[in-house]
Chains A and B, each alone.
Chain A
Amino acid sequence: MIPASFDYHAPGSLPEALALLSKYGDEAKVLSGGQSLLPLLKLRLGQAGHLIDIGRIPGLEYVREDGGMLRIGGRTRESVLERSELVRSKYPILVDTAKVIADPLVRNMATVGGNLAHGDPGNDHPATMLALGALVVATGPKGERVISIDQFFLGLFRTALRSDEVLTEIRIPVPPARSGGAYVKLERKVGDYATAAAAAQVTLDAKGVFERVGLALTNVGPTPIKASDAEKFLVGKRPEVATLAEAAQRASRAASPSADRRGSVEYKRDMARVLSGRALKLAVERAGGR
């Protein structure tokens, strides 16, 4: 439970942090909440020569709406997101997601940015952000880069974030009227990663027909999975029982889970179906449909 030695830096500003990241390159790791990084180091499963702690940099923790976007600072703690009045009233999918990340104690340190940047398909925010069509702001030595969430997750523990960048903001388009979202996670116990989970964010038109659908899955592949086929299938259709069931079926076909103690491939794939169905149903209810 004791990590190998490393050097630690606590820059007071973003430019300082970026300079350190450039200087140490692959040997450096960003320390945000530390709830993914420190366990890896303590179990000596990962190594870092230099930890760059972004915990002292002002202006990285906020939750606010402006310019048609919900903006979440990269270092915003999960527990803050979970309790934010703004998020609870307008973005229940984010509350659903935050509430099932690890446990309440971990959530007091863990950050939204860290949850995305780590590139772990077991993390919960990635699928939700995919469903929301979020944007990730990466700040590097040359300034800000806005990355569409669709292009962010590249592979197992690999994201589009460069080693000299810090994830400073997440932007979510403010959903139009008749929108609703939900995140449904199956876990063996509180604190576990998902056996499978599904995030659904939908908008219905005035006639109650699907206008926009975001549907994504957690921990059933090497990256979070956007169920594009299911999404396309639903657009233009009414949220009827058989339609949602077909969409859930298609979502499960998009999954490519690995077998482990949480379940076999068949079980996880079927859970992707069951949970997609439940997430869609709840999202539709919250959108004011059926």
Chain B
Amino acid sequence: MQPKTTPEVGGMGHSMKRKEDPRFIRGKGNYVDDIVLPDMLWMDIVRSPFAHAKIKSINAEKAMKVPGVLAVITGETLAKYNLHWMPTLMSDTQMVLPTEKVMYQAQEVAAIIATSRYAAADGVDAVEVDYEPLPVVVDPFKALEPSAPVLRTDKKDKKDNRIFHWEAGDRAGTQKAFAEAEVVVKQDLYIPRIHVASIETCGCIADFDRVNGKLTVYMTTQAPHAIRTVFALVAGHVGLSEERIRIISPDIGGGFGGKVPVYPGYVIAVAASVVIGKPVKWIEDRMENLQADSFARDYHITAELAAKKDGTITALRMKTLADHGYADAAANPSKFPAGLFSICTGSYDVKKAFVEVDGVYTNKPPGGVAYRCSFRVTEAVHAIERITDVLAQQLKMDPAEIRMKNFIPKEKFPYKSVLGWEYDSGDYPRALQLAMEKIGYAALRKEQAEKRARGELMGIGICSFTEIVGAGPSKQFDILGIKMFDSCELRVHPTGKAIARFGTKSQGQGHETTYAQIIAEELGIPASAVQVEEGDTDTAPYGLGTYASRSTPTAGAAGAMAARKVREKAKKIAAHLLEVSEDDLVWETGKFSVRGAPQRSKTIQEIAFAAYTNHPQGMEAGLEAVDYYDPPNLTFPFGSYICVVDIDRGTGVVKIRRFVAVDDCGNIINPMIVDGQIHGGLTMGMAPALLEEISYDENGNIQGGSFMDYLVPTAMETPAWETGKTVTPSPHHPFGAKGVGESATVGATPAIANAVVDALAHLGVKHLDIPITPEKVWRILKEKGVAE
């Protein structure tokens, strides 16, 4: 797409260098742990070694004797202020600090406040806790058995471990379609727990100013306004009032959903600061982050497809057991306890579908949607793309062919899926075609046949996904009742420069650049002259934050709409300056000119100056606007990914030889930034496919709770990703854009899993659960007698 503006203006389509980089490349970023306040104290947390245990006693005597330790906070301390429990974003409840029992290994049990980082660590070591272990529930299926211990004994009248039942679609109609089908395939798949592990862990500095009664919290949060409101609601009874709470989200070292939830550490730090009257800093270490913070996935899915013999899919059915840990603390929109899982009909024109998800409690940390997943879209797409390949294998059809056959055709958009979503736009065959050309699909199939004859193992996997992002329209979307609009406040200065503040919060996505480019496109003010700010609730307009790829669809739209409001006023000022009627004016980037007399014009800079020095009588001075954008629909980016793998017959190691990703996110603001999102997303899609997993033994002990065993890919494990684009604009978005941050994570995992299964399909392998470790592959090779 050719940009309409010059590089100097830097509007849409320019790969302009990022405006935020100067501080990062100099090591002058401002992350939470970089901030030091006068008289600041340090907090560290004592954590439970047991997954389920009564707390018999907490002995802080030795800890209090450690030089530098000032206080030990327990659940009893917080109970005095009724702060020992707090609501979750899904209207469940979770402990801040326990008074009776712990429910997951690494749960917060007590907090140390000390004068230094090192003293706080020593204090943690010196706290003595006496536990009485209780029976542990780790298997979500066993958790549903009548004999299972009831975990949430804090909930009056709760007699089981069920959290919710959610369903969508036509159960009876789907059943009928299955009964009448020519072909039916069924596959169980488990998508294990993983952890987002951004390189910066979570933390905060809580600073309660006793004199002014104001609480300021510097926090690693992707949603500062939501946090502020939650604090006001939860702690209003101890005197915290929303106008005197300020949440500042400074530079964030990666979020990916892991910095959305309210962690107990934040609340304890706030309580400590309020009680002590000094700033309290809490920075978790990596093991705490991996073991206690919000996880993602942990879905046990049974997927079924009904089809005709020619490969036409007629119906889809999915049943899922969702392991949520001991509390439903997933950060989903409130009406969607299973997130946007019902996107699972995918890119296909499925006529009948039924989907149900049951949530269950276990003795594990709470959470659910923190790993670049778009609210469970990763799970949904993994399921549909895997079962589609299972169907293709059953029918001996090429996986590209079966997809082409079932794609929703371009002419059917906007397309209403049987599970209730209106897909805004898409051209699926084009993306798959392009991916196949770029990778040389036909030649690869030929090579595969030749290699198979020689006993070599090579696989080609496809994933054609439809994503669903931009939550969301107020009719359906809210978090704790707060609607999911987003906002922009734009003000143009007399000298024609501007400041734009947004309700979202970048953690590396480049908003300081891309949002400026949006304003530049709409107003012609160079992007370099538009100052973008986010993250300070005292100044930024209310927004729901950045996650689930929602920023461009919501806040980006708000930016465009605010700029258009500014342009409307600018037109009036221009008309006044040029002494013509508004109808006589023509806009081209950066200026209004008189129709038929183009030499008579006023630039946006001249208009801005006039807004303060020569505004029309009867009109307010100034040149600014606010927009709260309520999106009319979500946006539906899509893509086709193709992966080629080679398998070592001796060790079972899977090597990705090539990976082509063709993405369509509508109109692109900054191609270089979009590619960066794709590269990172692909890497975070590969990791769960081959390397990452968090699991628990039968005693609830976490496996994979440190970087020693939680395998984050290095540059050596990561292939040289190849990317391509198609552009199918969103018809309802102000500038035709869709979100893109998570597409690659959604699409990569199934593409890789499909490739490995494809490599082994001729041996009769139908499915492999991720992560596909070398040993899993080795076992199959041994079983099939083809190991080296």
Contacts and interface: CB of A to CB of B under 8 A. Distances in A.
Is there a contact between chains A and B in the complex with CB atoms less than 8 Å apart?
Answer: yes
Contacts of B788: 274
Interface in A12-63: 44
Nearest to B713: A189
A177 interface: no
Interface string A173-204: 00000000000001011111001000000000
A1 B711 contact: no
B775 A267 contact: yes
Given A188-B691, A190-B716, A274-B650, A44 B711 contact: no
Contact of B651 (A190, A191, A261, A274): A274
Contacts of A278: 650
Contacts of B691: 188-189
A264 interface: yes
A2 B711 contact: no
B778 A189 contact: no
Interface in A125-149: none
B714 A190 contact: yes
Contact of A189 (B285, B651, B714, B782): B714
Contact of A186 (B125, B651, B708, B709): B651
Interface residues of B, number: 28
A4 interface: yes
A263 B775 contact: yes
Contact of A261 (B125, B703, B716): B703
B716 A189 contact: yes
B117 interface: yes
B19 interface: no
A44 B125 contact: yes
A263 B651 CA distance: 11
A195 B648 CA distance: 15
Interface in A181-239: 186, 188-192, 195
A272 B157 CA distance: 56
Contacts of A103: 714
Contacts of B122: 2, 4-5
Contacts of B774: 186, 188, 195, 263
A246 interface: no
B653 A186 contact: yes
Contacts of A274: 650-651, 788
A270 B716 contact: no
Contacts of A1: 121, 285-286
B117 A2 contact: yes
Task: Give chain A's interface secondary structure class.
Answer: loop
Interface residues of A, number: 22
Contacts of B779: 267
Contact of B717 (A186, A190, A271): A190
B704 interface: yes
Given A186-B653, A271-B651, A274-B788, A2 B121 contact: yes
A230 to B, nearest CB: 17
A192 B711 contact: yes
A191 B715 CA distance: 12
B775 A264 contact: yes
Contacts of A192: 708, 711
Contacts of B286: 1
Contacts of B166: none
B118 interface: yes
Contact of B778 (A4, A191, A267): A267
B118 A2 contact: yes
B583 to A, nearest CB: 66
Given A44-B125, A189-B691, A261-B703, A270 B714 contact: no
Interface string A269-281: 0110010011000
B746 to A, nearest CB: 23
Interface string B704-748: 100011010110110000000000000000000000000000000
What 5 A-B pairs are tightest by C-beta distance, nearest first?
A274-B650, A2-B121, A190-B716, A267-B775, A190-B714
9 contacts: A1-B121, A1-B285, A4-B125, A44-B125, A103-B714, A189-B713, A191-B714, A264-B775, A271-B651
Interface of B: 117-118, 121-122, 125, 285-286, 650-651, 653, 691, 703-704, 708-709, 711, 713-714, 716-717, 773-775, 778-779, 782, 787-788
Given A189-B714, A192-B711, 5 more contacts: A2-B118, A190-B714, A261-B709, A263-B774, A267-B775
Interface of A: 1-2, 4-5, 44, 103, 186, 188-192, 195, 261, 263-264, 267, 270-271, 274, 277-278
